[in-house]
Amino acid sequence: MKFQEVKNEILRIAQISDPLKVVEEVKKLHYELFERPKIKRPVKRGNFYYFYLIKSYDKKGHEILGKKLGRISIQDYEENEEIIEQYRKAGNIEKLQKYTQL
């Protein structure tokens, strides 16, 4: 999420009057920002695209990569690009690994 999106989300939560609903919304926002697995955009090497988890960020904002999730051939990636991108953006590792091979 971008900074402005986070700010708008916090302002929206601040306007809710029900305390239980506020707690629920804060938990959703916390998961979205900090707990959801982040998957790097596919890296193209040779005839394959490789997928990696983003472990963290350094002080300069550069990504520190975690484990490799798998690889997929260029042809298979281009055929299923929309579905794969949805799974990548949602952080759905299990469904993404159905398309990749280790």
Strand partners, 70: 51
pLDDT in tens, 23-75: 999 998 888 777 778 889 999 999 999 999 988 888 888 888 888 989 999 99
- Spell out the domain ranges in the chain: 3-35, 43-99
List Cβ neighbours of 74 (8 Å cut-off, separation of 6 or more): 44, 47, 48, 49
Question: How sure is the predictor about 1, in pLDDT bands with cuts at 50, 70 and 90?
Answer: low
The span from the CA of 74 to the CA of 45, in Å, is 10
pTM over 0.95: no
Q: Are 81 and 99 in contact (CB under 8 A)?
A: no
